Amino acid sequence: MLTRKQHELLSFIQTRLDDSGISPSFEEMKEALDLKSKSGVHRLISALEERGFIHRLPNRARALEVIREPESLATKAAARNPAPRPAAPASTTPRPAPVAANDVIEIPLHGRIAAGAPIEALEGSAMLPVPAALLGSGEHYALEVSGDSMVDAGILDGDYALVRRTNTARDGEIVVALVRGEEATLKYLHHEKGRIRLDPANAAYNPQFYAPDEVEVQGKLAGLLRRYH
């Protein structure tokens, strides 16, 4: 079962695709559903994508495809088209393809990654506008990078790390790790001989070793934003 808002959004997307062949923008979806921000649209799209109702084409912020409809939408579609129509001559005008759009959503900005405070203590502090094309499915937040321990991975002081919220990760992935409930750090994750190893990406720093119960994964790096002054 879909929530009312999920159902409304799916219906709106399908109607726009039927009418024009182009999925609506985040701004259009926000207004159609009377939502306060585009982040609400992003959460609804992520939920529909995870449940197999829509597919988001990669690297194109405005390219959505409905791949499954709830029974209520399918019934309405059948009512609009009760009988098959004779085949029309092939058109020489191609159907318009979904086009990229500069949709921007806001995600929580929880502070500096090396600030020495748990992420939870910083929630709600600010919001960061992010191009929707940089984010995949799931819930995201941002952290401002402090220090040079990950420079060899292309992560510089002052960058904004875009993080997909999760509590699991595979070896070799860059994660936000909360160490001993006190300090959030951005490092490569590895499991080694019953311990957790957090690796920097800078030869000037040494790996850090912890007991498994001392490290809590709070997200995986999904992207970066960098401002040039």
Active site residues: 149, 187
**Beta carbons within 8 Å of 44's beta carbon, 6+ residues apart:** 5, 6, 9, 33
Q: Structure tokens of 140? A: 């995201």
DSSP 214: G
For the chain, first and last CA: distance in Å? 48
Cα–Cα distances (Å) from 222 to 113, 161, 162, 228, in that order, read 15, 8, 5, 20
CB hemisphere CA count around 217 (13 angstroms):
24
